[in-house]
Amino acid sequence: MKGASAELDTRQNGERNIMLRIFFLVFSQLTVGGLALMHLVPVAEIGPGFFRTCASIYLLIWGCVLAGLEWARPWELLGFALFTLLFLMYYASLWLEKVPARSWLLEITSVIGFCAVIASSLSDSATGLPLDEALVRAPNFLFSTLSLGAAMSGMLLGHWYLVTPELSLVPIKRLTGTLVGALVAQGVVLALTVSPELGTVPTSLLPRVQHLLVAYPYFLLGRALVGLVGTFGLAVLTMWLLREGSTQAATGFLYTAVLTVAVGELIARFLFQLTRVPV
């Protein structure tokens, strides 16, 4: 009886750790991407309030998912520890007057954040990954970071237009264009990763890709249709609405895009935890 109970507890703890890991991967990427893409918004035009609001939201999200950061992944831990320190410094600078290095601090925080994301993509192998597999994982994680961040920061910026309609539409068009580009790149990487007939699947990944296609085809289809195709359609509609000057409707579509891209990434990281295939 005690043995069965211990086995059940171990299994439940393992499942809990997997869920924490999935949420950490998705929302750490959202935090890094959203913070980095704030750089596309000119502070002189929109004022510090937008940056304070966005940074506060990203800091709250970051604090909620830190439980998924694992001590057994030293490079990831180091990268995100540095990112957290720089993020806190940048956040503090937003509440101080006339900090000349604020823009530079955002840039260096973003660079360290992207490096931490790369370390995260490669961190589950103690013996190192084959180069061809690493060259698939790193872009997959980076493009996910950009799509999540562009959707989130674009949606937050869209709300700013509701109270300040005279703002230029150039910044939100840049963010939406970044979202479109990141989604296209994700689609290309996904197709090259899970299509053995193209001959582009890394040799070390091939057995896992075949297992993925046989065991989880509907999850993979959901990841592609909801996270990529659905979000791409919403982003294209947003671009069209922005050209028409309808910022309120565009913001609504970006809000939906945040939901679809997040769902797609959660499915992708769920599949990654099961198969170690970056989709």
CA distance 149 to 169: 18
Per-residue model confidence as pLDDT tens digits over 30-67: 999 999 999 999 888 888 889 999 999 999 999 999 87
Q: Read off the pLDDT band of 1 (50, 70, 90).
A: low
- In the DSSP assignment, the letter for residue 224 is I
CA distance 111 to 116: 9
The residue behind tokens 């699947």 is 201
For the chain, how many structural domains are there in total? 1
What is the number of other CB atoms lying within 10 angstroms of the CB of residue 184?
Answer: 15
CATH of the domain at 49: 1.20.1630
Total number of residues shown for the chain: 279
The type of residue at 117 is V
pTM value?
A: 0.93
Domain that holds residue 234: 2-275
Q: What torsion, rounded to 10 degrees, do the Cα atoms 274, 180, 192, 77 define?
A: -40
Q: Read off the pLDDT band of 15 (50, 70, 90).
A: confident
Buried b (16+ CB within 10 A) or exposed e, 129-147: beeebbebbbbbbbbbbbb
